[in-house]
Structure 1
Amino acid sequence: MFGFQTRTIRDLSWNEKKQVESLLEINGLTFEGRPDCTAVVENSEEKLIATASIQGKVIKMVAADPEWQEAGLSGMVISELLKYARENGIFHLFVYTKRDMADKFASLGFSELARTDAIVLMESGHPSSDDYRLVLRKNRTFEGSTNIGASVMNCNPFTLGHRYLIEKAAGECDGLYVIVVQEDLSHFPFSDRLRLVQEGTRDLKNVRIIPSGDYAVSRATFPTYFLKDKGLTSVAERQAELDATLFANLFVPELLIKKRFVGTEPFCQTTAKYNEMMKKVLPPRGVEVVEIMRLNDISGTAVSASRVRRAIVENDMEALKIMLPPVTMDYLRSEKGRAVVNKLIHEHDKN
């Protein structure tokens, strides 16, 4: 049809990436991350006129040349990515798209999870958000209480700062859900991060630890959070608003949350923007956003996971002792912990 050629590309060449970037820019989008596969449509002159990419289980960066909007090119590249996903055993997919593309994805079997003025997050396949709602219901702990709080944490790794925030938040509500980011894109594996938080808060009787699934600060909801280059401020802002909206749609009604606790953010602009977006999105949905001042060490500097990782690379044991609880110190001395330490050092030396 019209001499179109469709193909998929695993590793974009410099020239191919430039063409994709140009097409995205025309459509008000930005190239981000490192796609596992990109589908493109080219015309008879080998000009790229449509594109879409997939990274992990997320389809994104869907765009077509405005001159060919009526030719169904977006459907062609999306179909190629759905075929790629099936061939690679990916049966649960998310799509992060502009609002005007939502109906197209709905016709392909995607269901809407969250929507902002600019973007829509949708999913298809299983396990789905309906399955995760059942997980949340099974974890409902504070029945009968009206003052229930929640905090979402990555804990990469679990620090005294995290412990301080959890303890302070737990003191301000009847029950606190700590939702640990499950996306395994951090230096410390999710299973280890989850265990450290569980063991490090075991004495707090009104705290319940829950894995986030794919539905809080994940590669689907907030991919910029995991990028080394977080300079895409406008992109991070849109994604932060989307993630906060999904929290309001999913976690708030299932866990009857009335307060969302966050720590002040002096270091990371992306996390600071996330806090700002929560203050915009959650209060109209009946959730108070409570900001807790970060714990400072004896030098007056806020304790943070990024400072801990830097101290690990520098083998600064004194700094680690004043920023980490015993459970994390013990972990760093374990076989698993030493493997993470070596990985951090290797990554630092390589850069």
Structure 2
Amino acid sequence: MTDDLQSYTIDPEREPDEREDIRDLLAKCGLDYETGVEAFVVFRRKQRLMACAGLEKNIVKCAAIDPELRGEALGLKLLTEVSHLAYERGHSHLFLYTKPDCVEFFRACGFYLLAEVPGLVALMENTPIGMKTYCDGLKRLRRPGAVIGAIVMNANPFTRGHRYLVERAAAACDCLHVFVVAEDVSLIKYRDRYALVAEGIADIPRVMLHHGSEYMVSRATFSAYFLKEKGLVENCCTAIDLLIFRNHIGPALGITHRFVGTEPFCRTTFKYNADMRHWLRDDVSPAPAIEVVEIERTQSEDVAISASEVRRLLAADDFNRIRRLVPAATLELLETKYRVPRSSAA
């Protein structure tokens, strides 16, 4: 029976005793505690913690039920409570990460499978039409051609290197779809990044620019909250994101090729590019394979142009060097909106 259970919400940063109880329950269930969780819904029987579910923005994490209660229909109550908490915080569209063997359990609680890495991780959402609605919108933008390309860029900020990549890719395509990552956690705000890309590639033929979405390089498609073997974390994070692209986004637009620039600086991006070949091209999905094309980065003074280098120079207030790496619009934006005060840069 669950009638004698008490439920309430806690802030894990302010309630360390509750946080430790949650850690213990998660460990008992073979899960890891995720430090990014902002709030937990917990269920207790007397003083004993019996269930918990965490929320980070619109992502449900660290959901666990004591094995003794798994036959008592507590799952639906737990997910209902955490959904109410999310709604109170302004989130109605929720994502949930779980183990593949728990997919049916969460399906019964109103979540629907988006992508799965067999034996490791599954990503679900709380609507049966979220992905379909998104892809239906993309289908209306589909263009004919034998070579349909795609680039997904963060452009933090947009550089001459990004421009070069789009030029090279567009020249090889009948149509090139460019997506700007929408997750707003970068130094340059999404609105500014999108505007810079739009201006920077406006004159390149056969290019269609798209806003990013929660289904592409976002908090939702990258999570490692429950993997105890940390060596598996990066593999699973990239796999979910790339499988969603291959299984849903690619077919909606008829994408045949995905273009990336070589990555000599950022380890995360380097690994993501390497993983693309496996998850987009190899026989790991019934969806059509997508060829991955890596284009050598353009250089300035014998060094590959990178957004990370621009950010480093911005922190140092070195606009003499920045102007060699970025278009005029990017330079103007950085000078007027993102320049670090000299007293802070010193």
Give the TM-score, by structure 2 length: 0.87
Structure 2 counterpart of 1:214 = 214
In the TM superposition, 1:209-288 aligns within 5 A as 209-223=209-223, 234-283=232-281, 284=283, 285-288=288-291
Q: In 2, Cα distance between the equivalents of 1:115 and 1:38?
A: 25
Report if the CA contact (8 A) 2:317-2:339 is conserved: no
In the TM superposition, 1:12-51 aligns within 5 A as 12=13, 13-44=15-46, 46-51=47-52
Partner secondary structure for residue 322 of structure 1: coil
Partner secondary structure for residue 70 of structure 1: coil
Shift of the alpha carbon at 1:258? 0.6
Query: Which letter maps to 2:330?
Result: T
Q: Give per-residue Cα distances to partners, 1:123-149, cap 9 Å, x unaligned.
A: 224982222123212322x32x01111
Partner secondary structure for residue 252 of structure 1: helix
Structure 1 counterpart of 2:95 = 94
Report if the CA contact (8 A) 2:182-2:213 is conserved: yes
Structure 2 counterpart of 1:177 = 177
The more displaced of 208-217 and 161-170 is 161-170
Identity, % of aligned pairs?
A: 37
Report if the CA contact (8 A) 2:34-2:61 is conserved: no
Structure 1 counterpart of 2:109 = 108
Shift of the alpha carbon at 1:255? 0.6
Shift of the alpha carbon at 1:152? 0.8
Structure 2 counterpart of 1:65 = 66
- Unaligned ranges ≥5, structure 2: none
Structure 1 counterpart of 2:56 = 55
Query: Which letter maps to 1:307?
Result: E
Residue correspondences, number: 333
The more displaced of 177-186 and 300-309 is 300-309
Structure 2 counterpart of 1:316 = 318
Report if the CA contact (8 A) 2:97-2:223 is conserved: no
Shift of the alpha carbon at 1:31? 3.1
Distance change >3 Å, CA 171–CA 51, structure 1 → 2:
same
Shift of the alpha carbon at 1:280? 1.2
Q: In 1, Cα distance between the equivalents of 2:204 and 2:109?
A: 46
Shift of the alpha carbon at 1:250? 1.6
2:309 equivalent to 1:307: yes
2:131 equivalent to 1:129: yes
Give the TM-score, by structure 1 length: 0.85
Structure 2 counterpart of 1:228 = none
- Unaligned ranges ≥5, structure 1: 225-230
CA RMSD across the alignment: 2.6
Query: Which letter maps to 2:238?
Result: A
Structure 2 counterpart of 1:296 = 299
Shift of the alpha carbon at 1:107? 2.0
The more displaced of 22-31 and 194-203 is 22-31
Report if the CA contact (8 A) 1:114-1:246 is conserved: yes
Shift of the alpha carbon at 1:342? 4.6
Structure 2 counterpart of 1:7 = 8
Shift of the alpha carbon at 1:206? 1.4
Q: In 2, Cα distance between the equivalents of 1:279 and 1:9?
A: 42
Shift of the alpha carbon at 1:310? 1.6
Query: Which letter maps to 1:139?
Result: L
Distance change >3 Å, CA 7–CA 134, structure 1 → 2:
same
Shift of the alpha carbon at 1:212? 1.8
Partner secondary structure for residue 173 of structure 2: coil
Shift of the alpha carbon at 1:303? 2.1
Bigger helix fraction: 1
Partner secondary structure for residue 101 of structure 2: helix
Q: In 1, Cα distance between the equivalents of 2:116 and 2:82?
A: 23
Shift of the alpha carbon at 1:168? 1.8
Report if the CA contact (8 A) 1:42-1:50 is conserved: yes
Distance change >3 Å, CA 30–CA 289, structure 1 → 2:
farther
Q: In 2, Cα distance between the equivalents of 1:161 and 1:155?
A: 10
Q: In 2, Cα distance between the equivalents of 1:331 and 1:216?
A: 26
Shift of the alpha carbon at 1:75? 3.3
Query: Which letter maps to 1:99?
Result: P
Report if the CA contact (8 A) 1:252-1:258 is conserved: yes
Q: Give per-residue Cα distances to partners, 1:227-275, cap 9 Å, x unaligned.
A: xxxx955323211100000001221111101111122223322222222
Distance change >3 Å, CA 89–CA 112, structure 1 → 2:
same
Structure 1 counterpart of 2:77 = 76
Partner secondary structure for residue 332 of structure 2: helix
Report if the CA contact (8 A) 2:95-2:220 is conserved: yes
